[in-house]
Structure 1
Amino acid sequence: MRTILSILLMFCCGITFAQTTITGTVVDNNNIPIPSANVIVIGTSSGTVTDFDGNFNLTVNQNPPFTIQASSIGFESTTQEVTANNQNINFVLNEGTALDEVVVSASRTPERIRESPVTVERLDAKGIKTSSSATFFDSLENLKGVDMNTNSLTFKSVNTRGFAGFANTRFMQLVDGMDNSSPALNFALGNLLGMSELDVNTVELLPGASSALYGANAFNGIMFMTSKNPFDHTGVSTYVKTGLTSSDNAGDNQFYDIGVRVANKFSDAFAAKASVSYLKGTEWYATDYTDYNNRGWTRENPGYDGLNVYGDEVATTLDMDNIASTNAFPIPLASNYGKHYISRTGYNESDLIDYEAESLKADFALHFKPWKNDFEIVLNSKVGRGNTIYQGANRYSIKDFFMQQHKLELRNDNFFVRGYVTAEKAGNSFDSRFAGININRFWKPDQKWFEDYAAGFLGATAGQGIFDPNEAQLAQAHATARANADSGRLIPGTPQFERAFDIVTADPDLATGAKFQDASKIYHADANYNFAHLVDFVDIMAGGSFRQYSLNSFGTIYTDNDGPINYNEYGAYVQLQKKLLEERLKFTGSLRYDKSEFFDGFVSPRISFVYAADELKNHNIRGSFQSGFRNPTTQDLFIGLQAGRAILVGSAPANLDRYTGTSSQLSTTGQAITGSATVPLNGGDAYSNAFDLTSVNNGAPVAANVALVKPEHVSAFELGYRGRVSKFNIDLSAYYNKYKDFISTRTVLTPLYGEVGDNSYSLLALQNGDFQPYQTYTNSKADINSYGASIGVDTKVLNGFDFGLNYTYAQFDFDEATDPDFEPGFNTPEHKVKASFGKTELFQNFGFNVNWRWNDKYLWQSTFHNGYIPARNLIDAQINYTIPKWKSTFKVGGSNILGHDYVSAPGSGAVGAQYFISWTINQ
């Protein structure tokens, strides 16, 4: 880094710049200031944004004359000529088109949105002000084609174009150029470590594959959040927000959310900022007590396994006739007690998780312009701490989770070089399923509990001379048996339960505890240079990146018992852009090469064309082809986690021998209940000595023969139109994705004795229940395709009201016969409709907005549970009032104001209504 800095400083010192300063204002045609309007120098990326009062101050490194342009979403852009230094220019923007808005993400260079080669969705300060959602991050759900899955009050995952879960490893989220995904979990925890809404400058979202410029993780899409530069946005801003969350199962609970941002430009060479925000509330309760294996059965079922009940996963089959013959009951040979599948009594999720939602995040940045020009050095630190809930294979209470990012960046209009580190600590997080299992074992071992159950059952039957019980007598016997086995059970809320809970959740050994331990890190560096100012005939850009993963879960998630696991990825890209046919046709071609140390390198090309069908460029047609890839995640490679129903074991070759464990299943043998002997297990058994689960369920067991995981590929095609027809802004796109080697999981059963295919001992192991389920990581052999389309229309109606309507269609297909065990996890509605209606100035300083969303019923598939999600119909609304002399905006609103509770996935919290009132001050 020191060498790079020295070279850059020498380069910059060898160049002298002329400076021109322009000041002015940007207002609408009613003379109302437009905050956060873009003011740029035409033909360059130099620019600034207006403050709350519509004022701007722009210093550039060129002599007059030149042209500057002002633009803002929902207004027609306009230009003016700069003829002298220190000139004052006032812009008046007429409401109208959004086609001239400038975006950066699509091509890594500023361009008008109408010239973007791919679909781009955008949110800025105006969108945040008019949002009817409780937070700016929640408002992303109103963007066209965007899905938002609610894991908890503080954790929502964003996705586009299908194949999503809460653990969304297919979608990348960048905050000021830094990937803010968790190093251990491989996905972003919503906005838990993100950005305060006071500091948001823009949010740009690219649906679909973006690997050609952004590498492996930008497979399904990518979102860019950029913060406000303290050179352009100074002063003190703050907000205070409070309200209620309301749902049928949790009732009404107060939340509050506060934030402050302080920024100052100390000189033309130095500026700094700091922002802090804090949210506290109550999580959405998860109270789906449906039997996991027998939908519709009640808790009276002896083998009950509730979806949001933990500890009842421990179960076995008791042959009461065999057990009775070993006891002192005088039973005849004709007794008919039968075999019964029995589970331990579990604890509701609400007994184990306190549902306290909390998020504290802070951002500190120092910005230096040593030569008072566009060359800038940025030191940036982001820290976040909070409580949330994550639903993966199990439900995890993420408590006191801490994550931090630190960045050094050097940049100007033509290049950037940045390096950053992301580090996390899991705090007091724990696995709720193992909390329930091991609290049960804390007060009574499994074997003793089942022995007591059998004794209670036989005491209620054979002990009373009932040798062929009817249905009612069986039910009574099971009730008596459970009461006998539960004698001494720890009751939630008692000191004894709390003591056991504290001991179990502080213990990282899943045989006895539930603690989630992690201190993983990511080291990342990337660079980009735009040669457009040096080459006339074509715009050339090149760049590259390097990343090192350092996994350190202390053996609780990964197989890193003996120390951190480190591995590297790197990539490089080049992009060419050229305007043809009198600048009405824009060609963009890019090529990227990426390499993980575990896999062969992969080349990702992208070719796109944008054609303006008219001279005014109001009708723009785009088409693109690109290929993308996704490397297996750290979990796909190195996980070694006992998840309860199965052991999750990654398929990196080095991982197969790293994972070792023991089976702890119960079985019944001979005439008595016995605990299974300790059986050593190896990760390689899952891939080389296992039965296919589906074949076992079908009664014809065959070998699984699971291949080791490798990168996943996609070929993506897109066509689109963006333009203005009369008073309507229209954005239309359609896509088709073809996948190869789709990364998936597969559950297999490894026998505890015998070799699969020996047709004797291994089959006997299946018959006796002596096997260990594994979840393996591999690639599907099926041909998988996804396709869809979206259309959005925005216009003015009824003399100035804003109206927007969009529709999204998404579907997929695959050849099920080639891979009958494959569960694609598309997890996306086929049809979605969204609409907005409002006005920023209904009357002076008063505005409102209403958002409506509907989607149809769809199937959700995950390692936690599969099930159908009902169609839902949601309305958000807000009213706001601005007091200019106080520089304040007051807002009253609500999300899901109809109060129809819904879940994003089976077993997740039931999301109700959220009502809020806020006061925002922007200096």
Structure 2
Amino acid sequence: MRTTTLVIMLLLMSIITSAQTTIKGKVVDNNDQPIPGANVILDGASVGTVTDFDGLFSLTVEQSPPFTVTVSSVGFESSSVVVSSASSDLNITLKEGTELDEVIVSASRTPERIFESPVSVERFDVKKIKNTPSADFYDGLETLKGVDINTNSLTFKSINTRGFATFANTRFVQLVDGMDNTAPALNFVLGNLIGMTELDVNSIELLPGASSALYGANAFNGILFMTSKNPFDHQGISAYFKGGITSQEAAGDNEYYDYGVRIAHAFSDKFAAKVNFSYLRGTDWFAVSEVNVLNPNTDRSDINYDGLNVYGDEVSTNIRGVGEILTNTINPVTGQPILPPGAENLLPDTNVSRTGYLESDLNDYPAESIKFDAALHYRPFADDLELIYVGKVGRGTTIYQGANRYSIRNFFLQQHKLEIKNSNFFIRGYITDEDAGDSYDTRFTGININRFWKDDSTWFGEYAGAFVQATLAGVLPEQAHALARQTADTGRLIPGTPEFQQAFNQVISDPDLSTGSRFQDNTQLRHVDVNYNFSHLTSNFADIQVGGSFREYKLNSSGTIFTDFDGPIRYSEFGIYTQLQKKFADERAKVTGSVRYDKSELFDGNFSPRLSIGYTLGEERNHNIRASVQTGFRNPTTQDLYIGLDVGRAILVGSAQDNLDRDVRTFSGTDISGEGQGILNSDSVDIVGRAAYENSFSASSVLAGNPVRSSAAPVEPEKVTAFEVGYRGKVDRFVIDISAYYNQYKDFISTQNVIVPFYGQVGDGSLSLLALQNDDFEVYQAYTNSDVDIKSLGFTAGVNTKLPGNFELGVNYTFAEQDLDRERDPDFRTEFNTPKHKVKATFGHPNLFKNFGFNTSYRWSDDYFWEASFGDGDVPSFSVIDAQINYTIPSLKSTLKAGATNIGGDEYFTAFGTGLIGSQYYIGLTINNL
């Protein structure tokens, strides 16, 4: 029996062994240079490998020759090779392709050549990532045509296309391995602050323009897809290290470093795993503008000065009104009025602001990003059916500019995803959980440090008293104001002292904005996506897809951001879609039609259809024209709906119906009960948020001296209809991509400043106007829609070519403009925030001589006007040159890279109120990144 068993086992092993074939070989380009990271896949199976740094590979398959393997790499045409024997090594040469041969997934949720995409698409592949002169691959996206990157800070960049965006870019979606990268409470896309490490990036695709037909609400201006490397296909250990300095006139020269590691391994043909870790630390760009936002023609000598990057000086009051109060207030010690009767007439009828602190006094500008993720991949049948778990955690410290400037300290976000997929379907569910950490509002830090040592009433009272005394002594008004401020500032906390630090620490740890500046947030987002592609069943007729999504928000800021003081606020939305794609006319023509229905529990449902057609021309089929019409929509954000936040210059109040009565605030006002009106029987009044929408004046009309009722109404979803035409093709050695678009917007969402009187009804002709006269009002910022007709149009053109000597050159141009009738709604702010003209260019050579390459990029931006809740102002034109050189060390399977950004050193900014962007110099080493 033992002998029989042994013979059977030996026979089985012999059979298995005979069925296994190991092939080896090398993959090179036309110049006989090795191609690392090329995919070598067995046809008809999911078995494959990738070439190493020297272009070598080894692949064992459970088949005997003959069989076919397909070899592919980004930037090259795929090649199929018939393996007839395992006895000799293969030497495979890939012909260099063009950008038109690259395969994308985002445009139609199915693989297709970018050449045949029904809409505009930009792609940033591994080759471009390696060659970017930017210090970080994410910054390199700015070289793409039509793309804006607004620099919030060193580690926080906001991508946008086609205008209409601030740093909280709620019209643009960013997906990292299918997960939304937006902070669900703060409403800003996190860029790459806690996103993906460059070692794990497989591809980046960007769709400019409306994409709601497939991707739902908020894929309105565009959508960015970042996909990571699968551990089955990309194995091994790779690492990078970068170090250098950032240089800025205000901050000086500061060290920064950035390093990361990726470990991936396939334990079998069924199970693989990977982990990624990266850490970046440096010093942020200092924001030091002292422009007076109330009167740019004056400086800090203005008695009502409000500096752009100065905080605490937003607290301002009419000094004569203070005098009137003091002449009617009895000093309990002397029994006499604090100021003698008539003294108020010595005070000017003008506003005076408290003395503020520089932003650099309230922030030491650390910049930090820590990212870790792990993924488990399981293929139960060793085919393309795959089960995936991904866990991502990240912590970041940066600056975010929204309604105020926020110091984001130890911001923490985690995402967990479960997904099952194959080539025909996927089911994906994930959760996003954010924690604001130790973040605080710099504006309220300055305001409440002032109040920590002296409350507003005391400070203004001392100012008024000192001014009256100086005037009675014959001092001129300008000197009297200086003496008054000096008197009121007696005891002011000085930055750098222990007393200041104690007050600072107490304020930033206090979430009550009347005394502190910390904001709390533990908001969650839950999301599920499903998609099924019936192409394998219906390809004879058409390619058909169906899918859907569900999302639930759980807002939890403990009343510091939202009106969730009595518990978390929950609401949800869902969507379903279908797409049909058909080729005809000898597969030269392709028609794509899709439609999606989305429904939020707070609003009526929306349909988003899209229709596109493309046609391939030329005997060699190397010219393609396309046209599309599609609609998009955007649901109001969490803040549009449920915010309840005093940001100093205005109170932000969301317009969800169940939010309007939740925001209740108490204000001091004039006691008018003596006039027999019975409206205000004390010096305080409660104002409900609903008043911002139902009992308010237009802010612009009050400033113009002709108060009229505000038109602000509760916010509804925003819609766009987008028309686009384009051309892609190859003419000789030139690859050309041109597109033009025209957008029409309906119910455009924005904010409107309104003025709420403490008493009276707007339009009553008396009491509400008396409230304005007595300064008994508060400025609110309402979230609303405009009925103004808004249109935008644009044009992009890009040309890429290889010059003699294999030098690579790319040039692109972008034009963007909005069409808006501002006279119909002067309070309306579109926040278009993009230059009319942009020009970008890249020039380099990946292999100028053996193992040495270089790349440069140039960007020019026209000047433009920036609109945002933090401040409005001009952004001057700027030009930027970045460059890098690299040297490959084959024996170490490594690449050494040195580069610099903004080589000219001319500091610039992309948004009003941010720090000037200086230069960055770095040197880095990347090891074994295939």
Q: Secondary structure at the match of 1:533?
A: helix
Instruction: Name the counterpart of 1:689.
Output: 695
Q: Distance in 2 between matches of 1:182 and 1:113?
A: 31
Instruction: Name the counterpart of 1:558.
Output: 562
Q: Distance in 2 between matches of 1:47 and 1:538?
A: 30
Instruction: Name the counterpart of 2:477.
Output: 474
Cα distance, 1:647–1:112 mapped onto 2, change above 3 Å: same
Once the two structures are superposed, the pairs formed by residues 43-442 of structure 1 within 5 Å of their partners are 50-55=51-56, 70-80=71-81, 90-319=91-320, 337-442=347-452
Please state if 1:636 is matched with 2:662.
no
> Contact 1:147–1:159 at 8 Å: present in 2 too?
yes
Greater CA deviation, 629-638 or 655-664?
A: 655-664
Please state if 1:456 is matched with 2:466.
yes
Give 1:585 deviation, angstroms. 1.0
Greater CA deviation, 136-145 or 615-624?
A: 615-624
Please state if 1:505 is matched with 2:511.
no
Q: Distance in 2 between matches of 1:652 and 1:609?
A: 40
Instruction: Name the counterpart of 1:891.
Output: 897
Give 1:321 deviation, angstroms. 7.4
Once the two structures are superposed, the pairs formed by residues 872-891 of structure 1 within 5 Å of their partners are 872-891=878-897
Greater CA deviation, 615-624 or 543-552?
A: 615-624
Q: Secondary structure at the match of 2:761?
A: coil
Q: 2:530 aligns with which of 527, 531, 535?
A: 527
Q: Secondary structure at the match of 1:825?
A: coil
Give 1:459 deviation, angstroms. 2.4
- Read off the aligned partner of 1:890 and give its amino acid letter: L
Instruction: Name the counterpart of 1:11.
Output: none
Cα distance, 1:334–1:451 mapped onto 2, change above 3 Å: closer
Instruction: Name the counterpart of 2:721.
Output: 715
Q: Distance in 2 between matches of 1:850 and 1:165?
A: 28
Cα distance, 1:501–1:370 mapped onto 2, change above 3 Å: same
Q: Distance in 2 between matches of 1:509 and 1:332?
A: 39
Please state if 1:583 is matched with 2:584.
no
**TM-score (structure 2 length as normaliser):** 0.92
> Contact 1:809–1:830 at 8 Å: present in 2 too?
yes
- Read off the aligned partner of 1:560 and give its amino acid letter: D
Q: Secondary structure at the match of 2:574?
A: strand
Q: Secondary structure at the match of 1:487?
A: coil
> Contact 2:553–2:571 at 8 Å: present in 1 too?
yes
- Read off the aligned partner of 1:437 and give its amino acid letter: I
**TM-score (structure 1 length as normaliser):** 0.93
Give 1:92 deviation, angstroms. 1.6
Cα distance, 1:447–1:577 mapped onto 2, change above 3 Å: same
> Contact 2:145–2:814 at 8 Å: present in 1 too?
yes
Give 1:580 deviation, angstroms. 0.6
Please state if 1:614 is matched with 2:615.
no
Cα distance, 1:705–1:96 mapped onto 2, change above 3 Å: closer
Q: Distance in 2 between matches of 1:869 and 1:337?
A: 39
Flag structure 1 segments of 5+ consecutive residues without an equivalent.
1-17
Q: Distance in 2 between matches of 1:80 and 1:168?
A: 47
Cα distance, 1:168–1:544 mapped onto 2, change above 3 Å: same
> Contact 1:784–1:812 at 8 Å: present in 2 too?
yes
Q: Distance in 1 between matches of 2:897 and 2:614?
A: 40
Q: Secondary structure at the match of 1:662?
A: strand
Give 1:731 deviation, angstroms. 0.8
Instruction: Name the counterpart of 1:853.
Output: 859
Q: Distance in 2 between matches of 1:625 and 1:86?
A: 56
Please state if 1:698 is matched with 2:704.
yes
> Contact 1:35–1:126 at 8 Å: present in 2 too?
no
Q: 2:576 aligns with which of 556, 572, 577?
A: 572
Q: Distance in 1 between matches of 2:858 and 2:908?
A: 15
> Contact 1:667–1:768 at 8 Å: present in 2 too?
no
Once the two structures are superposed, the pairs formed by residues 832-871 of structure 1 within 5 Å of their partners are 832-871=838-877
Cα shift readout 1:348-376 (whole Å, capped 9, x = no counterpart): 11111120000000110111111111111
Greater CA deviation, 92-101 or 543-552?
A: 92-101
Instruction: Name the counterpart of 1:912.
Output: 918
Please state if 1:542 is matched with 2:546.
yes
Give 1:19 deviation, angstroms. 12
Give 1:70 deviation, angstroms. 4.4
Cα distance, 1:441–1:789 mapped onto 2, change above 3 Å: same
Give 1:51 deviation, angstroms. 4.6
Once the two structures are superposed, the pairs formed by residues 790-805 of structure 1 within 5 Å of their partners are 790-805=796-811
> Contact 1:61–1:374 at 8 Å: present in 2 too?
no
Cα distance, 1:299–1:292 mapped onto 2, change above 3 Å: same
Q: Secondary structure at the match of 1:127?
A: helix
Cα distance, 1:810–1:59 mapped onto 2, change above 3 Å: farther
Instruction: Name the counterpart of 1:815.
Output: 821
Instruction: Name the counterpart of 1:788.
Output: 794
> Contact 1:51–1:233 at 8 Å: present in 2 too?
no
- Read off the aligned partner of 1:525 and give its amino acid letter: V
Cα shift readout 1:661-680 (whole Å, capped 9, x = no counterpart): 1226899999xxxx993321
- Read off the aligned partner of 1:606 and give its amino acid letter: R
Q: 1:740 aligns with which of 743, 746, 749?
A: 746
Q: Distance in 1 between matches of 2:384 and 2:754?
A: 58
Greater CA deviation, 812-821 or 699-708?
A: 812-821
- Read off the aligned partner of 1:309 and give its amino acid letter: V
Q: Secondary structure at the match of 2:152?
A: strand
Instruction: Name the counterpart of 2:8.
Output: none
Q: Secondary structure at the match of 2:658?
A: helix
Cα shift readout 1:407-463 (whole Å, capped 9, x = no counterpart): 11111111111111000110000111111111111110100000111122122221x
Q: 2:656 aligns with which of 652, 664, 674?
A: 652
- Read off the aligned partner of 1:515 and give its amino acid letter: R
Equivalences, count = 896
Q: Secondary structure at the match of 2:781?
A: strand
Cα distance, 1:353–1:708 mapped onto 2, change above 3 Å: same
Give 1:733 deviation, angstroms. 0.8
> Contact 2:319–2:347 at 8 Å: present in 1 too?
no
- Read off the aligned partner of 2:763 and give its amino acid letter: G
Q: Distance in 2 between matches of 1:561 and 1:331?
A: 45
Cα shift readout 1:486-540 (whole Å, capped 9, x = no counterpart): 1111111111111111111111111111111000000011111111111232111
Instruction: Output the aligned Cα RMSD.
Output: 2.7
> Contact 2:46–2:382 at 8 Å: present in 1 too?
no
- Read off the aligned partner of 1:801 and give its amino acid letter: F
Flag structure 2 segments of 5+ consecutive residues without an equivalent.
1-18, 329-336, 675-680
Q: Distance in 2 between matches of 1:82 and 1:633?
A: 56
> Contact 1:317–1:667 at 8 Å: present in 2 too?
no
Give 1:331 deviation, angstroms. 10
Q: Distance in 1 between matches of 2:325 and 2:668?
A: 21
Q: Distance in 1 between matches of 2:686 and 2:87?
A: 78
> Contact 2:346–2:468 at 8 Å: present in 1 too?
no
Give 1:296 deviation, angstroms. 2.6
Instruction: Name the counterpart of 1:14.
Output: none
